[in-house]
Amino acid sequence: MSLTLSAFEKLYQQTKDKKYLNYIKAYADELIDSNGNILKYDINEYNIDYVNPGKLLFNLYEITKDKRYQTVIEQLRKQIASQPRTPSGGFWHKQIYPNQMWIDGLYMAEPFYAQYTVTYENGKSLDDIAKQFELAHDHLKDLKTGLLYHAWDESKEIGWANRETGTSPTIWSRGIGWYMMALVETLDYFPKNHPKQKELVEFLNEIAQNAVKAQSSSGLWYQVTDKPELQGNFLESSGSAMIIYGLAKGVNKEYLPSSYKKTAQKSFDAFIKEFVKTNENNEITISNVSSNVGLGGKPFRDGTNEYYAKSKTKDNSSPALAAFLLSAIELKK
């Protein structure tokens, strides 16, 4: 939900229409009590996903000066401070997934972490943030395609992990999208003169180049990104929209060559043709959104290519809706 609200925040900044701001505030106020406690939040779960909604509170606090928002921001910073880490220093995805980094975790934690450290700590944690991307780049990357797998178990003990590399078996288009979005949104807070800024821009250029190589002839991306011929594999909307957004914002911020804007525009047009339908009330449906696939757990999810290809699709699920909005904003559509 907070991903969609991040898109609403960008819409508010573009349009100055307070309906978007009011919607975000209503969401926050429903989940935060009068003392600044998040309903049903348990830090001991150490779920990295819980950090992401905190991004919405920086502007809310700046606008309203409501101290509850500041209190929650600090709670989430405390979670980051005590989040369990792999031996190499990467954040665990959750307490129940020891020694595992998942690619979506980069998006869930790093943009908030970067905004916090630049706003309140004079940027003291930027090196630690860059390290999370370095670990993902070094350990999740497939050497053949240059694309990143969904997850990495540094201990190499979990059943889905490759015994030599620790990686999970599948390259997932939404995973590539999470990685690209994490990079472009974290880079918002990295000064150009910071020693790690150039490295993160290089990571973005590398994944952009390899993602474009993996495009289908339509200009979109398959659920299992590198295996279009896999039985049951399908063009997937959320990953496609996230990659389009990453390309478009990367060009707008001058991290990527301008030629990628044309690629993003063509893919956006293909996205509308393939996934977007409008009814008689001018309401849209975005189709072919991957369900929330994962790894491990009970029952055990083995992360095979076939598991991702057989995942049920949904309409109008938030990752696709939000990334569609964000890409449209960047492309001025």
Distance of CA 322 to the CA centre of its chain: 11
The 10 Å CB-count burial string (b at 16+, else e) for 249-264 is bbbbeebbeeebbebb
Using the 8-state DSSP alphabet, how is residue 91 labeled? Answer: B
Q: Which residue has the tokens 């991957």?
A: 290
Angle between helices 173-186 and 103-120 (to 10 degrees): 10
The secondary structure of residue 277, as a DSSP letter, is E
Judged by DSSP in three states, 135 sits in helix
Active site residue 104: yes
Find out whether 174 and 243 touch, Cβ atoms under 8 Å. Answer: no
Q: Could you tell me if residue 47 is left (phi over 0), alpha (psi between -120 and 50 degrees) or otherwise beta?
A: beta
Q: Percentages helix, strand, coil for the chain, rounded to the nearest 5? A: 55, 10, 35
| C-alpha distances out from residue 217 to 149, 213, 214, 222, Å | 22, 10, 9, 11
CA–CA gap between residue 274 and residue 268 (Å, rounded): 10
Catalytic residue among 33, 66, 104, 138: 104
Name the residues annotated as catalytic.
104
